[in-house]
Amino acid sequence: MATSFKWELRRGATVTGKWNQGRYRVEKLLGEGANGKVYLVQQGRTWYALKVGADAVDLQSEINVLQSIAKQKRNGLEPFLYDVDDLYGPDGKEYPFYIMRYVRGLTLADYFKKQGTEWFPLVGLNLLGKLSHLHEAGWVFGDLKIENVLVGDYGHVELVDFGGVTAKGKSIRQFTEIYDRGYWNGGPRSADERYDIFSFAVLCIQLHEPKQLHQLTLELLPQNRSADELQQIVESSQALKPIAGWIRKALAGGFMNAKEGYEAWRVLMHRRDTHRPSSTPGWLKGLAAASAILLVTSVYWLLRNML
């Protein structure tokens, strides 16, 4: 269900928190999730993202998850919650909001459109890395989809919209049908690590073969939806061929968590045929491969040093 308030915060407007008196200048709307709207705001010289919700309980429930994760930052999950407060909307009513770190980046689909799909293997690896941090801390992301993954420079990945994040063992709090394991008759709708891996596999298909995937949802009767049907798209896709085996295992629940998926993905990446054939000259390809490997190494090194 979409957000249930219609007003917008105008550019240049100042939001003042009711309890903590934090003041934020609104720059622009960044996006809209199931529980609210996200704005780019500025305080002093720092940019933040402000999420305002219509329902205090819904938003607080999300904040609780963020706070629990923030306490576990040793796991490589950077702190991102700065302020929690209420604001007065243009209609005079109070609305809850929270301030988090602003992540500069493009959504997955936009990133590949702009930078090219040769970034896909690395971005996929980084995304699995993010998920594995979350899994190690006892959480399942839940609502993994293209719109909830931002990619920054050089394939750096951030998960956004934590409305679906669920403690292991509970029922998934928020999901999107085509990425949902239950929708494909692939297993329960409860939070285990394999749930995210399943969504990740669908996300790969959605990125490369969105039309076929959409067509499948229209054609199949609900009882006939299955991982096998998804796999057929993968087998017939040139772009997905190199990861067909990985996806098969992911859809079947063969990776127990993101860490296993990550390791298997990394092995794949170092095989030569993983990178999509393109019309670029050979020397450029070699250069790209070399820089990709360099990047993986540096990202890995960087991550290791940050943890």
Partner 1 sequence: MKQILLITDGCSNVGLSPVVAAAHAQSEGISVNVVGVLDQGDAGEMGASEIEEIARAGGGLSRLVNMRQLSQTVQMMTRKTVVQTIQLAVQKELKQVLGNGSIEALPPEKRGEVVRVIDELGETSSLQVALLIDASASMKPKMAAVEEAIRDLMLSLQARQGKSEIAVFHFPASRHGDDCAMDLGWTSHLNGVHAIFPKLQMGGTTPTGPALMQVIDFYRHGDYGKQSRDETDGMMSGYVV
Query: Residues in the site for partner 1, rule: CB under 8 A?
Result: 1, 19, 56-58, 60-61, 63-64, 67, 84-86, 94, 96, 169-172, 177, 182-183, 188-190, 222
Measured from the CB atom, the residue of 64 and 297 that comes closer to partner 1 is 64
Torsion of CA 262, 266, 268, 270, to 10 degrees: 170
User: How far from chain centre, in Å, is Cα 86?
Assistant: 27
Q: What angle do CA 279, 234, 33 make, to 5 degrees?
A: 95
State the nearest-atom distance from the C-beta of 86 to partner 1, in Å: 7
Cα–Cα dist 182/186, whole Å: 6
State the nearest-atom distance from the C-beta of 177 to partner 1, in Å: 6
Phi, psi of 55 (to 5 degrees): -120, 120
Q: Are the beta carbons of 151 and 105 closer than 8 angstroms?
A: yes
Cα–Cα dist 218/54, whole Å: 33
58 is a catalytic site residue: no
Measured from the CB atom, the residue of 140 and 264 that comes closer to partner 1 is 140
Measured from the CB atom, the residue of 110 and 219 that comes closer to partner 1 is 219
Cα–Cα dist 151/126, whole Å: 10
Annotated catalytic residue: which of 85, 143, 180, 196? Answer: 143
Cα–Cα dist 243/239, whole Å: 9
Measured from the CB atom, the residue of 47 and 183 that comes closer to partner 1 is 183
* Catalytic positions, written as ranges: 143
